[in-house]
Amino acid sequence: MMPRRATAVIAGVLSVLAAAPAHATAGAFWDSFEEPWAPTGSFTTYRAGQVFGPWAVIGGDVDLIGGGYWAAQNEAQSLDLNGARAGAIRATFGTTLAADYRVSYRLSGNPAGPPEVKTGVAGVDGRPRQDFAFDATRTSRTAMGYVEMSFTFRATRAATSLELTSTTPGAYGPVLDNVLVQSCTITDCSAGR
pLDDT in tens, 78-132: 999 999 999 999 999 999 999 999 999 999 999 999 999 999 999 999 999 999 9
Query: Is the distance from CB of 172 to CB of 114 less than 8 angstroms?
Result: yes
Domain residue ranges in the chain: 24-192
CA distance 78 to 89: 13
The neighbour count for residue 145, using CB atoms within 10 Å, is 18
CA distance 184 to 101: 5
Mean pLDDT of 151-166: 97
Q: pLDDT category, 3, cuts 50, 70, 90?
A: low
Amino acid 5: pLDDT: 45
Segments of the chain assigned E as strands: 24-25, 28-31, 43-47, 51-52, 55-59, 61-65, 78-80, 88-94, 100-109, 117-124, 127-135, 147-154, 159-166, 174-183
pLDDT digits (tens, 9 = 90+) for 34-53: 999 999 999 999 999 999 99
Tell me the Cα Rg of the chain.
18
Architecture of the domain made up of 24-192: Sandwich (2.60)
Query: Is the distance from CB of 129 to CB of 179 less than 8 angstroms?
Result: no
Check residues 164 and 189 and name the one with the higher pLDDT: 164
pTM for the model stands at 0.84
- Beta-sheet pairing, 88-94 with 78-80: unpaired
